Each structure stands twice: as structure tokens, then as C-alpha cells.
Chain A
Amino acid sequence: MIETATQLASVVLQSSAPGIPATAAAALAVGLAALGAGYAERGIGAAAVGALAEDESLFVRGLIFTVLPETLVILALVVVFLV
């Protein structure tokens, strides 16, 4: 009984195929990062458009602030090259 249990455990531990392949995991990481960036941009974008409506000269600044969270996705993209 105990013997079979240890055998089973060793089989489980040794089987090297992970739940998701590494490339799929990397893709997931990038996707989640993009989701986060999108959520962050939602608020910033709304505020930027609001500021823009009051003062059009803020266009460039508003745009820069709006796309700042994109850096999250770019950093997450690094994972793809590491895998």
C-alpha cells in the first residue's frame, strides 16, 4: 500500500509535462499585463479627455499620461523572449 503510494508520488513528481506549456504561460502573462494596462488607462484616459475638454493645449501631455501604463505590456513582453 505504502509502496504503491511512494511509487505513485515519484511518477507524479517525475512526469515533467507542466499543466500549461511555457509558451502558453508567457502568452497568458502578456495578456494579463495588457488587461491591467487597459484598466489603468481607462481612468487616466477619462481624466485626460476631461482636462483636454477644458484646455486643448494639454493634448500632448494627456496623451503621454494615457499611454504610460503601456510600459506594463512592454515589460511583460520581455517574458516572451525569455522563454
Chain B
Amino acid sequence: MSTASGTSNPEYVVARVRARKASLFGDDDYRKLVRMGPAEIARQMEESTYEDEINALGARYSGVDLVEYALNRDLAGQFDDVLGWTEGRLYDLIARYLRKFDAWNVKTVIRGLYSNVDRETVEADLIRAGEFSDRQVDRLLNAGSIEGVVEVLDGTLYGGPLADALEEYEDAGVLVPLENAVDRAYYEQLLANLVVDEATEMYREFLTAEIDFRNARNGLRLARSGADLDPAAYYIDGGRLFSASELSALSESRDELLARIRDSVYGDQLDNALTVVEETESLIGFERALETALQSYADRLGVVHPLSVTPVVSYILAKEREVDNIRAIARGREAGLSPERIEAELVVL
């Protein structure tokens, strides 16, 4: 990327990002929101940073749809803003991280085609925050078949791995190889040529933790479902907690897997969550604990290295959390769940 060289401007970006992070919804706001209906939530959002999106979409949608579309659009807008401010190496690092939305979009389109969902529905789930331009995303949507998607992606960093995985998909008829190809391509580019100084060293540790958590979550899900799937097929390279073969062996026994996580470097942070999993067999709590741990890790790095990519990543995570939380509240209220029940589902630090 040509913009990867040259000086970056962390001071400016971090100041703006911190201001935006401070204006995210807090505990009190969530407590209010869980007692509201979808229409009231939309109104509450209109009074916050989501004003433009709600106004723009308010004529076309209402209720939960309005909330959802506004959230997605705001998320994409916010991250586009961040990319617009940054220069130099900082831009490169943030763009790499935000490619997870490209990966998400590619996977969503493929899933949509696989399950024959109509274009509108797929489009509603896309988050146009990554590096792909609107035109590229539209071409993905118009591809019409999974082979078409792979063709459209030819030349991007997902093109090669997807083309390789296509054959396997055609043989087996399951999406796993394709989705793994996308995930792996994403994480590979994320970690490539990353470390230049102490801050990026720490940043890489954070990314390693993210990958570890992902692997742990996948392993636990597989162990719980008891499905006859090879966990190594879902394994993402780059973590330090397990290797692919270890994950296969561990996912056969949930207790061993939990013991392994408890003994690892993440043991202290996840201690309470692990106990809950052991007692209740509920993974929701554990997954929330993973997200909370990741968020507080990013926050801490952001304080330790204030003039690096880490405060920005911490904001990106926090913003995603907020969007997830508000969506969960809106959906939960629509489904008639009690406020206490919804509150238990939220990820709040």
C-alpha cells in the first residue's frame, strides 16, 4: 500500500477517537434502554451520535429495522471516518484491522448464496466498513453464485485462498472450507510484517490473544455440540494457546480444554468465567467474558501506548460492542424478553 510509508499522525487520530469513545453509551444509558420499546430506542438514539442515520432512514424503516440499519450504517460511517483521518503506517494498521468487515461481508454473501436468501436480506446484513469500495461490494452482491463471488474477489487478498478452497467446497458441499479460507487470509495479512517497535509488539500480543480466544471459543462450541467435526479445520494460525492438533485433542474433552485455558496466561482474567462454564455449562457467559477480557486488554494497551494503533483498536472494539448491545436490546425487547434477561446478555465493562 502506497500510504503505508510516510509519517503517521497518531496524536490527531487518538484525540478524536478518545472523544468518540467517551460519547459511547454507558451503563446508565443501557439501563434506560433495556426498559424501552424499539421505537423509544430509536428516539433515544436520535438524541445521541446516531442522529444523522436515524433521520436519514426514519422515513423508510421503523421499529427494530430502523435501529438495526442505523446501527450498521453508523458503524460503517464511524470507521470510514477513522480511516479518513489517519495517515502513514497508522492507516495501514487500522485498515488491516478493519478488513475484518470485508471478511464478514464476503462470508455473509457466500452464506446468503448458499442458503438462497434474497439479495435485499443479504445486503441488509453487510457492514460497509472495510476496504472494499461500495462498487466492489455491489459486485459481490450481484455475483449470483459462489463461483461468481470467488471470481469477483480475484486479485484481492481473499482471491487466491478462496479459489483453492472452492474445489473442496464443491466436493464436500459445506461452507467451512470457504469461510476458513477467508478467516485465514484475514488473520495472515493482519499479522504480516507487523512488529517495528514496542507498541506494535504489544499490539501483536493483543492480536494473538484475539486469535486464541477465537480458537478457544470454537473449540468449546465444538466440544459442547458434540458434532463430529474436525476442530483443526476451524483452527486459525497465529495464536499461542494451542496448536491445531492440540485443539483437536482438547476439544474432545471439555474439562481438559477448560483446564488448559485456566493454566494459560489468560487464566487470571477468565477465572470467574471459567468457573461459571464448569458449573452451568452455559457458553454465553464465557463468550461474554472473552469479549470483556479482550476489551479491557485493548483499553489497557491504549493507556500504555497512547500514541500507537492500540487506542484506535480499543475504540473499534468498544464501538462494535455498543452496536451489538443496542441491537441485542432492540431485538430482545421486540421478542418480549424481560429487562433483567437482556441485561444479562449485554457486554458491559
Contact = CB atoms under 8 A, between A and B. Distances in A.
Give the interface residue-count category, chain B. Answer: 10 to 19
A77 to B, nearest CB: 27
B19 A54 contact: yes
B300 interface: no
Contacts of A49: 12, 15
A46 B19 contact: no
User: Which interface residue of A43, A47, A49 has the most chain B CB atoms within 10 A?
Assistant: A47
Interface string A36-77: 000000011011111101110000000000000000000000
A50 B20 contact: no
B16 A46 contact: no
A59 to B, nearest CB: 14
B12 to A, nearest CB: 4
B62 interface: no
B232 to A, nearest CB: 45
A40 B11 CA distance: 12
Contacts of A46: 9, 11-12, 15
B345 to A, nearest CB: 30
A49 B20 CA distance: 14
Contacts of A53: 16
Chain B contact residues: helix, strand, loop or mixed: helix
A24 B70 CA distance: 64
Contact of B13 (A43, A50, A55): A50
A57 to B, nearest CB: 11
B196 to A, nearest CB: 19
B310 to A, nearest CB: 16
Nearest to A53: B16
A48 B11 CA distance: 9
A46 B9 CA distance: 8
B14 interface: yes
Nearest to A42: B11
A43 B14 CA distance: 11
Contact of A51 (B9, B19, B85): B19
A64 to B, nearest CB: 15
Interface string B258-290: 000000000000000000000000000000000
A22 to B, nearest CB: 38
A25 to B, nearest CB: 33
Given A47-B15, A54-B16, 5 more contacts: A44-B11, A47-B14, A51-B15, A54-B19, A55-B19
Q: Which 9 A-B pairs have the closest CB atoms?
A: A50-B15, A54-B19, A46-B11, A47-B15, A50-B12, A47-B11, A46-B12, A50-B16, A51-B15
